[in-house]
Copies of this chain bind each other. A is one copy, B any other.
């Protein structure tokens, strides 16, 4: 049995912070892990923007409440479940992502936590540094072959450490910088590649 580790935002659900950018019109929130390889730098920028515009959990929850899984995401999970075990490895936060998990059929999700003071987002607690890499490393050490897929800079260490790493609809810079990683451009192709690689592991 092989384990499939999937990124969440951009692969199964829309980018939550882009949703907030669109809803509020704040251009500064349009930077994501697809553009910025420094996650802490990105999160500090986001929290500063929230504070500057007096936005908190209520605004974030309103964005999430209107979101649905990406087209093809539910079908991908349903297709993979009888043949693979699935764990979602994400750099998002439980407080934002959990309302979307029911729509995906509650796959196991490993991500981070936000900290609050009333409505204000005061910070975040990472489960650990380089969390996707370490999760894949832990799974490999208990003899689980790992196929991983993601779309962003924060997925690269996971994709490189997995037995098979697949870029899903990546930005051009990622394809150019990591030509050794195979690319899937839609959910059907991602499912095909996972099944194909899975049969050879």
A-side residues, CB < 8 A to B, are 1, 81-82, 85-87, 94, 98, 101-102, 105-111, 113, 127-128, 131, 134-135, 138-139, 141-144
Evaluate contact between B142 and A127: CB separation under 8 angstroms: yes
From B94, B128, B135, B143, A1 is in contact (CB under 8 Å) with B94
Evaluate contact between B109 and A106: CB separation under 8 angstroms: no
State the CA gap A120–B69 with chains docked (Å): 43
Chain B residues closer than 8 Å to A107, beta-carbon distance: 106, 108
| 6 pairs of residues in contact across A and B, judged by CB atoms under 8 Å | A82-B101, A106-B107, A127-B143, A128-B143, A134-B142, A138-B142
Q: Is the interface of A mostly helix, strand, loop or mixed?
A: mixed
Evaluate contact between A105 and B106: CB separation under 8 angstroms: yes
Chain B residues closer than 8 Å to A142, beta-carbon distance: 110, 127-128, 131, 134-135, 138
Chain B residues closer than 8 Å to A131, beta-carbon distance: 142
Chain B residues closer than 8 Å to A134, beta-carbon distance: 142
Chain B residues closer than 8 Å to A101, beta-carbon distance: 81-82
Chain B residues closer than 8 Å to A138, beta-carbon distance: 138-139, 141-142
- Interface centre among A82, A101, A105, A143, by most chain B C-beta atoms within 10 angstroms, is A143
Chain B residues closer than 8 Å to A144, beta-carbon distance: 110, 127
Q: Which B-chain residue is minimally distant from A83 (CB atoms)?
A: B98
Closest 10 CB pairs of A and B: A138-B138, A108-B108, A81-B106, A127-B143, A128-B143, A138-B142, A85-B108, A1-B94, A134-B142, A135-B142
